[in-house]
């Protein structure tokens, strides 16, 4: 091989390597597929609208006449959480429960969410309301427990289930198509699962091409020498 042909071969190999490495960098830096979390959110009624509660139900202590809500849904965070649906008027919800001394009444709206937000194999119950009549110092969690057992919490006191729904899971991360990662077929066979980034096979394939490109560069240098 002449020196000119060797130089051209080397330049081509270098260009190939640069292009492949650039492609690999772009893929590795690509943002992961958007995900959310499937969980029960906690709300407080403020006039005619819902506001996301600033405390958890285990520490919030509602007053007599308050309206609070719980909604099961998939969302990224509190900024885009879905509020409870349906009527939320205290007088309507607690119409059949007269006031008692030493007790307080809290109207609760429990929205089990849409079918699309349900974990795999489960169907959300119909939304409902309830009037909890509890001690004056009771928390929202105690009010909820008085009308919607069984409740389920995780080790960090995160509310996982109301009236037994959902049957399992707690704040599970959900893939962009609404599938819980733990329910993903990829995880069932021990694979790490698809988090929206490049697959192992894709990266391996690119790595092989890069190696082949490096071999071509080495061969060009060897022939020139």
pLDDT surpassing 80 at residue 186: no
The phi and psi torsions of 70 (rounded to 5 degrees) equal -130, 135
Cα 93 vs. chain centroid, distance in angstroms?
A: 31
The residue ranges of DSSP E strands in 47-206, in sequence order, are: 49-52, 67-75, 103-111, 128-135, 152-153, 159-161, 172-174
Provide the pLDDT for residue 180. 56
Q: Is the peptide bond before 150 cis (omega within 30 degrees of 0)?
A: yes
Strand, coil or helix: what is 220?
Answer: helix
Query: Which is nearest to 104 in space by CA: 66, 80, 133?
Result: 133
Q: What is the pLDDT of residues 69-98, one digit of tens each?
A: 999 999 887 777 899 999 899 999 999 999
- What's the DSSP call for residue 162? B
Q: What is the pLDDT of residues 103-144, one digit of tens each?
A: 999 999 999 999 999 999 999 999 999 999 999 999 999 999
Residue 175: pLDDT band with limits 50, 70, 90: confident
What is the Cα–Cα distance from 190 to 204, expressed in whole angstroms? 19
Considering the entire predicted model, what is its pTM?
Answer: 0.66
Radius of gyration of the chain (CA): 29
Q: Which helix (H) or strand (E) holds 37?
A: strand 36-46
Residues found in the chain = 225
- Dig out the tokens for 138 from the structure: 């009771």
CB atoms within 10 A of CB 132: 24
Provide the pLDDT for residue 8. 61
What is the Cα–Cα distance from 119 to 167, expressed in whole angstroms? 9
The residue ranges of DSSP E strands in 61-180, in sequence order, are: 67-75, 103-111, 128-135, 152-153, 159-161, 172-174
pLDDT surpassing 50 at residue 193: no
- Dig out the tokens for 128 from the structure: 């409902």
Higher local confidence (pLDDT), 11 or 136:
136
């Amino acid at each position: 091989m002449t020196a000119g042909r060797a130089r051209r071969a080397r330049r081509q190999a270098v260009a190939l390597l640069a292009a492949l490495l650039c492609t690999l960098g772009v893929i590795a830096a690509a943002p992961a597929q958007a995900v959310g979390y499937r969980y029960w959110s906690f709300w407080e009624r403020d006039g005619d609208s819902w506001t996301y509660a600033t405390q958890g139900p285990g520490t919030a202590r509602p007053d007599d006449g308050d309206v609070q809500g719980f909604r099961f849904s998939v969302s990224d965070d509190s900024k885009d959480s879905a509020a409870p649906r349906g009527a939320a008027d205290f007088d309507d919800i607690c119409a059949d429960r007269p006031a008692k001394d030493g007790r307080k009444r809290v109207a609760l709206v429990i929205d089990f969410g849409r079918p699309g937000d349900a974990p795999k194999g489960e169907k959300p119950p119909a939304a409902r309301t309830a009037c909890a009549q509890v001690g004056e110092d009771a928390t929202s969690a105690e009010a909820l427990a008085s009308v919607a057992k069984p409740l389920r919490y995780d080790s960090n006191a995160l509310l996982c289930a109301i009236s037994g729904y959902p049957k399992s899971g707690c704040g599970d991360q959900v893939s962009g198509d609404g599938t819980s990662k733990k329910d993903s077929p990829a995880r069932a066979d021990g694979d790490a699962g698809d988090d929206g980034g490049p697959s192992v096979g894709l990266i391996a394939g690119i790595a092989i091409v890069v190696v082949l490109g490096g071999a071509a560069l080495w061969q060009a240098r060897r022939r020139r020498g």
